[in-house]
Amino acid sequence: MVEKASYKLLLSDRVRELSVAEAFDYIDALQSYKGDWPLYLTPSAILETEKVSEVEGLTPIPATHGALAFIEFYVDEEAIASNLSSKLKVGSDALKSALERGVPLHRLVPQEAFGELENVGSFLKAVLFEATVPVERKLNDEEARAVSDLEWVVDFDTVEVEVPGVKPEVVEAELNQAYYVGDYLKRLEKLFSKAEVEAKHLLLVRGEEEAGVKLKEVEALLDKLVRKVTAVRVSVMYYRLLLPI
C-alpha cells in the first residue's frame, strides 16, 4: 500500500509554528483578500437570506489537500470591553453588565472602535475552522462514521462540484518566491486562473479548537482526517461566502 502524503498548510514554516492567536494578523490579512478565484462556496442558508447584498466572504489558506478557512473567531468579550471602555468613555462595568444580559458586543461598540484594538489575537478564546478536502467520491457509511468520531469535528457534508486544482508543489514554489501575503495571493490568482478540474466532490469538515492551538497541530488533526477518506492531493482556492451577522 502506498503511504499517503501528510497534510500541510502551504505557508512558511515560521507561520506554521505559530498558534492561531499568534498568527491572527497574518490569517486575517490572507482571508481578507478579495481574490478572483475559480470557485465560490455558498452555505445553503445564504441562498435563503433576503440580505444578499450584506453577504461577505473570505479567501482560504491553501493546503496540500484542498484548503482551510477560519470562519469564526470567538473572543473574550469582557476583556475587549475593558480595553475599549476608556476609548468609548464608558465604564467597563456598564459594558460588562450589558454583555451579561446577552447583548452582543458588536451592538454595543461602533465598528470603528474595533479598528483601534491592538494585538487582537490576544483576545481570542476559540476558533471555528472549515477544512475543504477534495475527495474521489461521496463518503460511504464507514468513512462517515470515522469522520464523525474525530473529537474536534462539529459537522461535515460533501458537495458535488467541479473542483479546479493545482499540484501542491507548484503552489509551494509560488510561496517560496513571494515577498509578502499579497504577493503570494496575486501569484496564486494567476496560477488558479489556468487550473484544470481535478476532482468532482468536496468534503467540508467544520471543527472547533482553542485559539492557542498551533497551526502545525491543526495540520496534525487534518492529517488524520484525510487518511480516513479518499482525499485527493491537490490544492484548491475559492471564495467562501459567509452568513451576515
Helices 77-88 and 92-100 pack at an angle, to 10 degrees, of 140
DSSP 162-182: EEEEB-HHHHHHHHHH-SSHH
The yes-or-no verdict on residue 90 having pLDDT over 70 is no
Contacts of 170 (CB under 8 A, 6+ apart): 191
Q: Which percentage of the chain shows pLDDT scores above 70?
A: 80
The pLDDT of residue 170 is 98
Taking CA atoms, 84 is separated from 17, 21, 111, 200, 237, in Å, by 30, 19, 12, 47, 36
Place of cell 497574518: 26
Residue 116 vs residue 129, higher pLDDT: 129
Q: Is 109 helix (H, G, I), strand (E, B) or coil?
A: coil
pLDDT band for position 89 (cuts 50, 70, 90) = low
Contacts of 21 (CB under 8 A, 6+ apart): 121, 122, 124, 211, 212
The pLDDT of residue 112 is 65
The pLDDT of residue 99 is 66
The yes-or-no verdict on residue 104 having pLDDT over 70 is no
What's the grid cell of residue 216? 502545525
202 neighbors 133 (Cβ within 8 angstroms)? yes
Angstrom distance (rounded) from CA 208 to CA 16: 18
pLDDT one-digit tens code per residue, 161-175:
999 999 999 999 999
The pLDDT of residue 94 is 73
The pLDDT of residue 149 is 97
The pLDDT of residue 116 is 67
Q: Which percentage of the chain shows pLDDT scores above 90?
A: 67
Closest CA to 59 of 80, 75, 36: 36
Angstrom distance (rounded) from CA 161 to CA 200: 5
The pLDDT of residue 2 is 45
How much of the chain is helix, strand and coil, in % rounded to 5?
Answer: 40, 30, 35
Contacts of 219 (CB under 8 A, 6+ apart): 6, 7, 8, 9, 16
Element (H, E) at 126: strand 124-135
Specify the range with the lowest mean pLDDT, choosing from 76-85, 140-149, 200-209: 76-85
